[in-house]
Amino acid sequence: MSETPSASPHRESGLLLYSGNARRDFFDGAVCGARNLGFDYCGYLIGMPVSATEWRFVMTSNFPRAWQRRYLRRGYHAIDPTVEYAKTGIEPMTWSRELFATEALHDLSRDAGAIGFNHGWTQPLHDSRGRFGMLTLARGDAAIGAAELHAKLPMMQWLAQVVHDRLFAEFMAWQRNETIGRLTERELACLRLAADGGTAGEISAATGIAERTVNFHMANAIDKLGATNKTHAVALALRLGVLA
């Protein structure tokens, strides 16, 4: 790519907003496609498991900025039923009133309706590492009826696949390069050997550095990856593809 995409600084929320000129040029075309299909809004979200219970997300969209800020600030991605469904679901989902009817989702439903997200459709797509992408098409008026869905579904799913194929690969490459850029060669070497089952003593013997220095590099890698321990750091590094 000719320029480096960027992400918003909201790492602590578990959700990043992904941007960059190359991304914008492509996504503008996706938004145009969504509008041709009768939808005002188009959003693409990627979910990556970082532990058995924790996820990290990245999103790009033409959603109103006020909604993006509120979605981030209130942590709606953690309770959004479309995101929860996309973690394991494979079939497209048309939003329903019942989907957002629980008390826990009252604020999310109210705020989404106020912005103009009254009717929508979400298509999840998965990879072999437990990560997923989901394309959402939404609008303020006119429910998505069965006849419209039948007529437009092939193009909606085609758009979801095109967006996923481009942006998932682009973001994963950016994430891998960004992560590698934060890790030193020694830290990467320690992670690679740990991934092969090496203990601190074995890594010390293999690299010719003191065991306490191995532990120092491993502690730095754990911190930079946002992991909780060595095993978690290795799992994250493998999932992000930085040990290839």
Per-residue pLDDT of 39-52, as tens digits, reads 999 999 999 887 77
Please give the Cα distance from 126 to 25 (Å, whole number). 24
* 207 assigned to some structural domain: yes
* 40 assigned to some structural domain: yes
Do 164 and 198 belong together in one domain? no
Q: What is the DSSP string of 170-193?
A: HHHHHHHHHHHHHS-HHHHHHHHH
Question: For residue 220, what are the contacts with CB-CB under 8 A and spacing of at least 6?
Answer: 184, 187
Which residue range is the domain that position 35 belongs to? 6-179
Do 10 and 62 belong together in one domain? yes
Residue 134 has pLDDT above 70, yes or no: yes
* 1 assigned to some structural domain: no
Quote the percentage of the chain above a pLDDT of 70.
Answer: 90
Do 154 and 194 belong together in one domain? no
Which of the listed residues 137, 161, 179 is the one where a domain comes to its end? 179
Integer CA distances (angstroms), 22 to 19, 63, 145, 169, in order: 8, 18, 35, 13
Least confident of 71-75, 192-196, 208-212: 71-75
* 114 assigned to some structural domain: yes
Categorize the per-residue pLDDT at 19 as very low, low, confident or very high, splitting at 50, 70 and 90: low
* Mean pLDDT value of segment 66-80: 89
Do 187 and 160 belong together in one domain? no
| Ramachandran category for residue 139: left, alpha or beta (phi over 0 → left; psi -120 to 50 → alpha) | beta
Categorize the per-residue pLDDT at 5 as very low, low, confident or very high, splitting at 50, 70 and 90: very low
Least confident of 5-9, 105-109, 196-200: 5-9
Do 113 and 135 belong together in one domain? yes
Quote the pLDDT of residue 240: 79
Do 167 and 224 belong together in one domain? no
Number of domains the chain is built from:
2
- The 10s digit of each residue's pLDDT in 92-121 is 999 998 888 888 899 999 988 888 889 999
* 204 assigned to some structural domain: yes
Quote the pLDDT of residue 213: 96
**Nearest alpha carbon to residue 51 among 243, 235, 179:** 235
Do 154 and 169 belong together in one domain? yes
* 169 assigned to some structural domain: yes
* 200 assigned to some structural domain: yes
Categorize the per-residue pLDDT at 11 as very low, low, confident or very high, splitting at 50, 70 and 90: very low
Please give the Cα distance from 19 to 60 (Å, whole number). 7
CATH of residue 62's domain is 3.30.450.80
- Residue 41: strand pairing partners: 138
